[in-house]
Amino acid sequence: MNNIDHLIWGVTTAAAQTEGAFDKDGRGLSIWDSFTKKSKNIKDRTNNQVATNFYERYKEDIDLSVEIGLKIFRFSISWSRILPNGSGVINKKGIAFYDKIIDYCLEVGIEPWVTTYHWDLPQRLQDKGGWRNREVITDYENYINVLKFYFVDRVKNWILINEAIVCIGAGYFLGIHAPGKRGVKNFSASIHHILLAQAKGYRVLKGKKEIKVGTAVSCTKIESHSNKKKDLNAAKRIDALMNRLCIEPYIGLGYPEKELPLVKRIKKYVQQGDMEEMKVDFDFWGIQTYTREVVKSAWYIPYLGSVLIKPSKRKVPVSVMGWETYPDGIQYFLERFSTYDSEKPLWLSECGMALSEKEDDTKRIEYYKKVIECMKKISDKGINLQGILLWTLVDNFEWAEGFIPKFGIISLDKITLNRKMKKTACWLKDYLSNHSV
Ligand code: NOJ
């Protein structure tokens, strides 16, 4: 087995899942504040108004990350904390909060990485149509300009949009995430706008060579239920939707219109010059993969003509998320991305496993051990993998699933919000003390 001690380990968190303090110090509301007001939108009827109270306890979390031996602390910025109306007046207290996080990271020797958008659009922008409205692209560019002005002197690594396909798919197509919109029309407009916004954001931020700007993409291994042509084609359609739509326009391949009929609808929103503008050479790809889906042809499903076969029916290990636990997808996607460009730096910018309250944490250790095995297997294949960011540090608000799934390597006491290292955190600390440079 090969040595992988050069890989850099870090952790990923997100504002809407951790910060809480939803109305403190001038923060404007986000679409998740509105969405969680309807308690039936969230499985355990909770909301994220307090979350893990990272707003007040950020030092503790950063200290714990350092104690475990992690070298990167990735967090996201809440747009409406910086610009309460989505655009216009800057909230200086919001700037001060992120200044404190960045400065503290640097003080204790952990690299701060910023995600500019992790799903919490300002409600004021949603009132104007949100991602469906093309004007949001200019708002995003202006927001990125503000972040650049205040933080680029200290933050060297940036992730623009986190998992565009998930936030638009769940929020504007299925309606199961904020802002709870459904349908092909909402999806088609929103996906094009968010992807174009990201390209523009890249151009705003990218300046000095030492500033690295990338994106984080959700990847799900797609397999066909059978060898029948109609199932194979169904799998190709879903693969194009999940694993190509938000990636290939940037590398000049355009939208995958041959495999995905839905692209015809998206093209209605494409204006002259957009596709050219979308060609940006990200400094790295952040790959995030958790599971695998098996697909079957289904003529009665509009646009996609496919259905997913539930993991529970496939006799595979399933997590509390209802997802097949599938660490092998990591190897698959790292190899696949390096066929786009073998030199482009890759990060596994999220990886992790959710357990229920009752499950023993050793299951998660087993998961991470498999991740390590994967890394070892690919280490001699010339793949430019830089490191791994865990999802996540402290158990937090898992969107529509509320607080039920526990992804953290640190637990959270529901009442006191005290943090406690789980077995995984102790195991990782030990691993990193022997295997990190
Ligand atoms: C992807 C998302 O980026 C993150 O917010 C989410 O909690 C995890 N995956 C787990 O679902």
Nearest Cα to Cα of residue 321 among 185, 166, 191, 123? 166
Show Cβ contacts of residue 429 under 8 Å, excluding neighbours closer than 6 positions.
67, 68, 69, 421
Q: What is the pLDDT of residues 272-304, one digit of tens each?
A: 999 999 999 999 999 999 999 999 999 999 999
Handedness of CA 64, 157, 245, 337 (dihedral sign): negative
* pLDDT per position as a tens digit, 334-368: 999 999 999 999 999 999 999 999 999 999 999 99
Say what the alpha-carbon torsion angle 183, 219, 277, 159 is, to the nearest 10 degrees: 110
- Among 30, 324, 364, 398, the mutation site with the greatest number of ligand 1 atoms within 8 A of its Cβ is 398
Q: Parallel, antiparallel, or unpaired: how do β-strands 111-117 and 157-162 relate?
A: parallel
The answer to the question of residue 2 being in a domain is: no
Phi, psi (rounded to 5 degrees) for 83: -125, 90
Beta strands in 70-229 (DSSP E): 72-76, 111-117, 157-162, 212-224
pLDDT at position 418: 98
Given pLDDT bands bounded at 50, 70 and 90, which one contains residue 208?
Answer: confident
Range of the domain at 411: 8-435
Mapped onto helix, strand or coil, the DSSP state of residue 296 is strand
**Count of residues in the chain:** 437
Q: Which of the four pLDDT bands, split at 50, 70 and 90, describes residue 1? A: low
Query: Which atom of ligand 1 is nearest the CA belonging to 119?
Result: 5
Residue 272 CA to ligand 1 center (angstroms) comes to 34
Q: Are 29 and 179 in contact (CB under 8 A)?
A: no
- State yes or no: is 350 an active-site residue: yes
Query: Is residue 1, in this structure, part of any structural domain at all?
Result: no
pTM for this predicted structure: 0.98
Which residue in 46, 53, 59, 62 sits closest to 24, CA to CA?
A: 53
Is the pLDDT assigned to residue 107 strictly greater than 60? Answer: yes
Query: Closest by alpha carbon to 4, among 373, 266, 319?
Result: 373
Banded pLDDT at 243 (limits 50, 70, 90):
very high
The C-alpha atoms of residue 60 and residue 88 are separated, in whole angstroms, by 33
Q: How far apart are CA 244 and CA 68, in angstroms?
A: 35
> Mean pLDDT, to the nearest integer, of 383-396?
98
3 in a structural domain: no
pLDDT band at residue 65 using 50, 70 and 90 as cut-offs = very high
Note the Cα 419 to chain centre separation in Å.
Answer: 23
- Give residue ranges with CB within 6 A of ligand 1: 14, 17, 162-163, 288, 350, 391, 398, 407
What pLDDT is attached to residue 163?
99
CATH assignment of the domain containing 191: 3.20.20.80
Structural domain count, the chain:
1
Distance, in Å, from the CA atom of 100 to the CA atom of 399, rounded to the nearest integer, reads 26
Question: How many angstroms does the Cα of residue 135 sit away from the middle of ligand 1?
Answer: 27
Residue 61, pLDDT above cutoff 70:
yes
Tokens coding 163: 């998992």
Which residue's CA lies nearest to atom 11 of ligand 1?
A: 398
Identify whether 179 is preceded by a cis peptide bond (ω within 30 of 0): yes
The helix (H) or strand (E) run that includes residue 222 is strand 212-224
- To test the pocket of ligand 1, the residue of 18, 32, 391 to mutate (highest count of ligand atoms within 8 Å of its CB) is 391
Is the pLDDT assigned to residue 437 strictly greater than 80? no
Distance CA 11, CA 397 (A): 16
Question: What was the pLDDT predicted at 436?
Answer: 82
Average the pLDDT over 300-311 and give the result: 96
Asked if residue 151 belongs to a domain, the reply is yes
Question: Which helix (H) or strand (E) segment is 26 a member of?
Answer: none
pLDDT computed for residue 2 by the predictor: 81
Q: In the Cβ-directed half-sphere of 235, how many Cα atoms lie within 13 Å?
A: 19
